[in-house]
Amino acid sequence: MSSDRAERRGSVLAYDDFENSLPRDARLIGIDVGTKTLGLALSDVTRTIASGLVTLRRRKLADDLGRVLELAGRLGVGGFVIGLPLNLDGSSGPRAQATRAFARNLAKQAPFPILLWDERLSTAAAERSLLEADASRRRRAAVIDKVSAVWILQGALDRMSVARRSRARDPEAQA
């Protein structure tokens, strides 16, 4: 691994730097950071499909980070995609600030690159999909954060897929 690539590990990165720093065939974990829960999603090794992983009840920050990192180590994860809850106008509110703080704290402990992904409307989309699946109110409440994490991670995976196809069509664009 190049020293430039090594320096980017454990950092909150811009999209291009994030994608370029990922180890080959490593999964990604998507995280929906809430005040009471962390919704987690997991990609396959080809980084094509996101699936719901688990919803963790929040405790102390150190405990939360430890549980996420333990899962990441066990599952062969090479990076995190954290949903950034921007306001509809693109501005940052208190939730976005709290999410950035979570990402910075995770970066201090994680040996993996981290991407903050605009998650505007992901919870609404997750809620809509659960309603379409005729999930009960209790079931929706139990899985909404995990389903939101799937939406967040799948958005990033889809962008990576488009970028790969674009590079395959125009190899000179990589230089």
Question: Which amino acid, 102?
Answer: F
Q: How many domains, the chain?
A: 1
The sign of the torsion formed by the CA atoms of 168, 24, 44, 118 equals: negative
Q: What is the structure's pLDDT at 19?
A: 92
Sheet holding 27-33, edge to edge: 12-13, 114-118, 77-84, 27-33, 37-43, 50-57
Domain that holds residue 130: 3-174
What confidence score (pLDDT) does residue 162 get?
A: 87
What percent of the chain is predicted at pLDDT more than 70?
78
Question: Domain containing 66 — which CATH number?
Answer: 3.30.420.140
In the chain, how long is the greatest CA-to-CA distance?
Answer: 52
Would you say residue 5 has pLDDT above 50? no
Q: Where are the alpha helices (DSSP H) in the chain?
A: 3-8, 15-21, 61-75, 94-109, 122-132, 137-169
pLDDT at 47 > cutoff 90: yes
The answer to whether residues 175 and 57 touch, using CB atoms and an 8 Å cutoff, is no
Cα 69 to chain center, whole Å? 13
* Structure-block tokens of residue 37: 């829960």
pLDDT digits (tens, 9 = 90+) for 128-146: 665 666 556 665 555 568 8
pLDDT of 43 higher than 50: yes
In the predicted model, what is the mean pLDDT of the chain? 85
Per-residue pLDDT at 87: 82
